[in-house]
Amino acid sequence: MVDPAVLRRFSGSASRYDAHAHAQRLSAADLLRITRLAAGAGRGEPPRKILEPGCGTGIYTRMLLDAFPGSSILGVDISEAMVRVARSRIVDPRARFAVADAEEATGGTYDLVSSNATFQWFLSFDRTVRRMASMLSAGGALTFSFFGPGTYAELDAALRESDGGNTGARVAASAFLSREEIASTLSAVFPEWEIEDRRYRQSFPSLSELYTGAGGKGAPAAWSPGRLARVERAYRERQGEIRATYQVFLCRGTVPEAGER
């Protein structure tokens, strides 16, 4: 089950999500690259059935449809608002969408399970990876991009500095799993696995613009003008500008062919 606060935030911003999905688009493009390699290496042929947990508004769904024209895709997302946007934007007989908790997905067998920028929000990462692996056919692959704890590190530092070192003033990403923690799960589930570390950077005209979608505790709209000014001043003093780094882990796990199990 995804954190209810995360669900409310994403549902409330469904219609505006794509406009602020800079890092998600970059991670989707990089994820598609390793997904093509994993799908080809694991089976020797394109995947026929694909499950996309956390499909959101369909940004990555469209990439998968273009990359694997002979495949059918089931995109699931816990946010009804996100699924509604995806359905309106992708009218393709190969794609189906459902409102469901991807973390609790059961049933069905898929040649590929692939998810962009979603797994970091799951409350039980280890259990979800094991569940997804159990749904893969022989030679199938699980691929996903996972935002790491280094995401919004500049904002995290500015928040703590402006609040006198208060450790309660943190961005949500600071609690995301590390590469080592992800590797521990993948190595226990898959005989073949890999993690790539990517960093994307983006500049913003103001702190408020950056904070849209940043996932901090509280938002500038609820701050006093004084606090907003303090955080932005600390940010510019440390960085010289308002910029953000996104740490993204590109992850792959492949199950053996039937004769190799």
Task: Give the burial class of 61: count Cβ atoms within 10 A of its Cβ; 0-12 exposed, 13-18 middle, 19 or more buried.
Answer: buried
**Cα–Cα dist 140/179, whole Å:** 23
Size (the chain), residues: 261
Beta-carbon-side half-sphere exposure of residue 194 (alpha carbons within 13 Å):
11
**Joined tokens for residue 3:** 């954190």
Stretch among 45-49, 95-99, 166-170 having the lowest mean pLDDT? 166-170
pLDDT of residue 209: 79
Work out the average pLDDT over 91-109: 92
Separation between Cα atoms, residue 216 and residue 153, nearest integer Å? 11
Q: Say what percent of the chain tops pLDDT 70.
A: 81
Whether 19 shows a pLDDT value over 80: the answer reads no
Q: Burial code of 95-125, b = ≥16 C-beta within 10 A, e = fewer? A: bebeeeebbebeeeebbbbbbbbbbbbbeeb
Model confidence over 54-79: pLDDT tens digits?
Answer: 999 999 999 999 999 999 999 999 99
**According to the model, what pLDDT value does residue 221 have?**
56
DSSP state of 13: T
Specify the amino acid at residue 69. Answer: P
How much is the average pLDDT of 231-255?
91
Q: 0.85 exceeded by the pTM? A: yes
Tokens at 141, concatenated: 């692959």
- Identity at 166, one-letter amino acid code: N
Residue type, 32: L
